[in-house]
A and B are shown apart, each in its own frame.
Chain A
Amino acid sequence: MSETGLRRLVPPLATAALLLALWEMLSRAGAINVRLLPAPSTVWVTLARSVDVLLEQALPTFWGALAGMLLAALLGIALGMAVSLSRTLMQAIYPTVVFFQLIPKVALAPVFLIWFGTGWTANVIFSVFIAFFPVLVATITGLGAAPAHYESLCRSLTMSRLKIFLKVRLPFALPYIFSGLRIGVTFAVIGVVLGEFITAQAGLGYIILFSANNFETSLLLAAILLLCGVGIALFGFFLALEAIVLRLYDSR
Chain B
Amino acid sequence: MALAAETTPEVGPTAGMGFERLRTAVLPVAFAAALLALWEAIAVLGGYPKVILPAPSDVLAALLGDFGEICRQAVPTLRDTLTGFALATVLGIALAGLMTFSRLLKQAIYPLIIVIQLVPKIAWTPLFIVWAGIGTPARLAIATFIAFFPIFIAMVAGLESTDGSLVRLCRSLTATPWRIFWQVRLPASLPYLFAGLKIAITLAVIGVIVAEFISSSEGLGFMILKSAALLRTDLILAAIVVLCVVGLACYGAIDLGERAVRRWRGE
Of A49-57, A66-74, A213-221, the one contacting chain B is A213-221
Nearest-neighbor residue (CB-CB) of B119 within chain A: A228
B24 interfacial by beta-carbon distance below 8 Å: yes
Verify B248–A107 contact, CB threshold 8 A: no
A37 to B1, CA, bound (A): 63
Of B82-90, B165-173, B219-227, B258-266, the one contacting chain A is B219-227
Residue in B30, B107, B206, B236 whose beta carbon sits within 8 Å of that of A12 in the complex: B107
* B interface bracket (residues with beta carbon within 8 Å of A): 35 or more
Verify B123–A208 contact, CB threshold 8 A: yes
Return chain B residues, CB-CB under 8 Å to A79. none
Return chain A residues, CB-CB under 8 Å to B107. 7-8, 11-12
Residue in A88, A106, A113, A221 whose beta carbon sits within 8 Å of that of B228 in the complex: A113
A209 to B129, CA, bound (A): 10
Nearest-neighbor residue (CB-CB) of B212 within chain A: A107
Residue-wise, chain B 77-118 has the 8 Å CB interface mask toward A (1 for contact) of 000000000000000000000000000100111111001001
Interface of B is mostly: helix
Return chain B residues, CB-CB under 8 Å to A209. 126, 214
A158 interfacial by beta-carbon distance below 8 Å: no
B226 to chain A, nearest CB (A): 9
Residue-wise, chain A 17-48 has the 8 Å CB interface mask toward B (1 for contact) of 00000000000000000001100000000000
A184 interfacial by beta-carbon distance below 8 Å: no
Residue in A104, A108, A110, A224 whose beta carbon sits within 8 Å of that of B124 in the complex: A224
Which residues 114-164 of B have a CB within 8 angstroms of A? 115, 118-120, 122-127, 129-131
Which residues 203-233 of A have a CB within 8 angstroms of B? 204-205, 208-209, 211-213, 215, 217, 220-221, 224, 227-228, 231-232
B213 interfacial by beta-carbon distance below 8 Å: yes
From A7, A104, A193, A220, name the one whose CB has the most chain B CB atoms within 10 angstroms.
A104
Return chain A residues, CB-CB under 8 Å to B221. 107
Residue in B5, B23, B109, B225 whose beta carbon sits within 8 Å of that of A110 in the complex: B225
Return chain A residues, CB-CB under 8 Å to B131. 36-37
Residue in A96, A107, A208 whose beta carbon sits within 8 Å of that of B220 in the complex: A107
Verify B52–A115 contact, CB threshold 8 A: yes
Whether A232 touches B123, Cβ cut-off 8 Å, given contacts A106-B210, A109-B213, is no
A164 to B217, CA, bound (A): 56
B56 interfacial by beta-carbon distance below 8 Å: no
Residue-wise, chain A 77-116 has the 8 Å CB interface mask toward B (1 for contact) of 0000000001110011111100100111011111101110
B11 interfacial by beta-carbon distance below 8 Å: no
Residue in A7, A16, A190, A221 whose beta carbon sits within 8 Å of that of B127 in the complex: A221
Return chain B residues, CB-CB under 8 Å to A115. 52
A197 interfacial by beta-carbon distance below 8 Å: yes
B75 interfacial by beta-carbon distance below 8 Å: no
From A36, A109, A115, name the one whose CB has the most chain B CB atoms within 10 angstroms.
A109
Write 19 A-B pairs (CB below 8 A) sorted by A numbering. Answer: A12-B112, A37-B131, A91-B24, A92-B28, A102-B251, A104-B202, A106-B210, A108-B240, A110-B236, A111-B233, A114-B52, A186-B120, A193-B122, A193-B123, A204-B123, A221-B127, A224-B123, A224-B124, A232-B119
Which A residues lie at the B interface, using CB under 8 A? 7-8, 11-12, 14-16, 36-37, 86-88, 91-96, 99, 102-104, 106-111, 113-115, 186, 189-190, 193-194, 197-198, 204-205, 208-209, 211-213, 215, 217, 220-221, 224, 227-228, 231-232, 235
Q: Which 5 A-B pairs give the minimum distances between C-beta atoms?
A: A212-B126, A110-B228, A95-B28, A12-B111, A92-B31
> Can you add 7 more A-B contacts, CB < 8 Å, to A114-B231, A227-B123?
A11-B107, A12-B110, A92-B30, A186-B120, A212-B126, A213-B126, A228-B120
Which B residues lie at the A interface, using CB under 8 A? 1-2, 5, 23-24, 27-28, 30-32, 35, 51-52, 104, 107-112, 115, 118-120, 122-127, 129-131, 202, 205-206, 209-210, 213-214, 220-221, 224-225, 227-228, 231, 233, 236-237, 239-240, 243-244, 247-248, 251
